[in-house]
Structure 1
Amino acid sequence: MMEQFLLKGAVTELIATFDKNEKLDLGMYASQCDFQMQAGIKGLFCSGLAGESLYTTQDERIEMTKVAVEKAGGKVPVVGNIAELRLCDAKTLLQRYVDAGVDAICITQPYVLGYTPDLLFRYYSELAGMTKLPVYVYNAPQTSNTLSPALVDRIVNENENVVGYKDSTQDIIHLQSVMAGIKPGKHFECVAGSDATIFPTLTIGGCGIISLISAVFPKPIIDVCEIYFRGDIAGAFEKQKEILAIRTALKGAPFLAGYKYAASLIGLELGVVRNPLSDATQKEKDAIKANLQALHLI
């Protein structure tokens, strides 16, 4: 059954690339995609929250997605993520992703304001009903609209082409409850949405990870999945502990800044963060560099 999964193993959440003037740099983005393909990553995830989707226009997101589709060349799946406040904008973006040639759609819940479970169900169902592509539910607590296990199961079970779940809750009880509520026989791909939860997600039947760490350091993320799939449970747990240390090092600066700085240390230019996000201070950069050196990553 694992061979039937579209997203299996390590999938990278691509990072938006801006030059020093905060203008989108597609050449830099293309190089990032090349780096991922050469590393052997199993999929490309476009315009996630960590891909600065809230700081880019739809036009910019589609430009980046087209580059990812071209660079993937049909060798690995490309997923287009929707993070919009208005349903009409979400519908427009979905159709533009389809036209750009993505292999699947991921839908993030609307953010900031609170929405009822019925409204969120209708939001996901109406979007899923627009396409024949596989659809994944993204549960991002940062939106202030965390989907309950019951709501995730309802969305998955009642929409035929909703086939998977990107879980960023970091809540193992939540995740077990979701897995328990999927109706028998339903094709379901549970993918970790946090590098901190790859191992526990795999142990309860998950199939992989949409990773931010792999944007800079793909090998340990690829390794933890492959080690687990080989049946070496103890080895996979040891690799997860290593990943936790990497994650701590990269989070030693404001959102994304640590990842972009770390990338520059290995010769992968991902540019600057876009305002109002802030860059890492020199003190933070020094600490990140020292920690990555101690982990033998640079």
Structure 2
Amino acid sequence: MISQERKFVPVMITPFNLKAKVDLDAVSVLVEFYLAAGVKGFFANCLSSEMYSISEDERLELTRHVVRAVDGRVPIVATGSFGLTIEDKADFTARIYDTGIDAVILITGHFANVEDDDEVLLRNFHKMFRLTRDIPLGLYECPAPYKRIITPEVFKKLLDTGRLVYHKDTSIDLEKVKAKLDVLNHGDYGLEFYDAHTPNAMYSLQMGARGMSSISGNFYPEILVWMCNNATDPQRQEDVRWLQGELSRVDPLIHIAYPLSAKYFLQKRGLPVRTISRAHALELTIQQKQTLDDIHESFLGWCERLDIQPVQTSRLVRPKMPLDPPI
């Protein structure tokens, strides 16, 4: 088992106010919540942020606000590959990088159509690399517009360019994850590999992933931080295996009506997050709320067994920052 530090990097949700406008005050409190839980970075403007349901200006200002709120305490990445052409994607990548983030993430499904082969994908990535100067870049196998899983062979060719510093993997299949980690572990690439699939957490971390970046961190980030900190500790393997079983048990349930489910859960935890979403228009049903209430009880039990102190949300204070322009 490798002993290097493991990190949990949350995929940030976007709170909205009663007029369905981005609630920057709530974003600031969320930043403090994640940091108090022990996260080591942020993925802003991602699918959990409802990035396809907010405007270009909102994507930029939301990311800029996260940068101001974090104030250099941990690194930040954000999605940048928006636009119809590669030139458009390169332009937006430069603009979002200028908000002050540490790397720009490219959606793999933005660089080839579903019917295109890997040669098209590679050709478009190489063009993107040429157009984005020396901006640090990363990959994300986002489920939308469709999930384009990178093969180990393509992964190595992209790594060999020296342009990539980050990869968020959604392979789900552990053999596919292992194949890419084998490529990474046999080179000196300087790339941080994050698994997005919570049921993989223990296994991916023990195989050499740098960390996790899963939606479960929008429910109980303290638990994912604990897993990252302890997955490779020989003395904690009984607890690690037990917790992995619990996380895998509830994972399909928290995906239902997401990100509304996460907003309900965070509200239950005392955060100023309304159950308003642009990506999920329906209200949660009584049964869905009861399921999330039950998972909250499980979360408290996990904390008790593992001696984790849940973040006291009532003590979170928005940091002093310059006034934000309205979105």
TM-score, scaled to structure 1: 0.88
Deviation track 1:230-287 (CA, whole Å, cap 9, x = no partner) reads: 4434432222223223424423x31312111111101113331105543312231122
Shift in alpha-carbon separation, 1:170–1:103, aligned structure 2, 3 A = same
Percent identity over the alignment?
Answer: 19
Change (3 A) 1:105 1:257: same
Residues 124, 278 of structure 1: alpha-carbon distance in 2 compared, 3 angstrom cutoff = farther
Aligned residue identity for 1:197: N
**Larger gyration radius, structure 1 or structure 2:** 2
Match of 1:55 in 2: 53
Residue aligning to 2:99: 100
Of 36-45 and 127-136, the range deviating more from structure 2: 127-136
User: Which residue is 2:270 aligned to?
Assistant: 267
Counterpart amino acid of residue 292 in structure 2? I
**What is residue 321 of structure 2 aligned with on the other side?**
none
Report 1:46-85 matches (<5 A).
Answer: 46-84=44-82
The CA distance in 1 between the partners of 2:126 and 2:241, in whole Å, is 36
What SS does the aligned partner of 1:32 have?
helix
Structure 2 residue 205 is matched with structure 1 residue 224: no
3-state SS of paired residue (2:300):
coil
Deviation at 1:83, TM superposition (A): 4.8
CA RMSD of aligned residues (A): 2.5
Partner amino acid, structure 2, of 1:164: Y
Cα distance between partner residues in 1 of 2:250 and 2:65? 28
For structure 1, the 5+ residue unaligned runs are none
- 1:165 alignment partner, one of 159, 164, 167: 167
Q: How far apart, CA to CA, are the structure 1 residues paired with 2:92 and 2:187? A: 32
Structure 2 unaligned residues grouped into runs of 5+: 302-309, 311-327
Code of the residue aligned with 2:26 in structure 1: it is M
AA aligned opposite 2:148: N
What amino acid is aligned across from residue 120 of structure 2 in structure 1?
L
Query: How many Å separate the matches in 2 of 1:294 and 1:229?
Result: 24
Residue 88 in structure 1 maps to residue 87 in structure 2: yes
Secondary structure of the structure 2 residue equivalent to 1:140: coil
Given residue 34 of structure 2, which amino acid in structure 1 is its aligned partner? Q
> Is the 8 Å Cα contact of residues 3 and 232 (structure 2) preserved in structure 1?
no
Q: Tell me by how many angstroms 1:64 deviates.
A: 1.2
Greater relative CO, 1 or 2 (CA 8 Å, sep 6+): 2
Q: In structure 1, what is the equivalent of residue 120 of structure 2?
A: 119
User: How many matched pairs?
Assistant: 293
Separation in 1, partners of 2:278, 2:143: 22
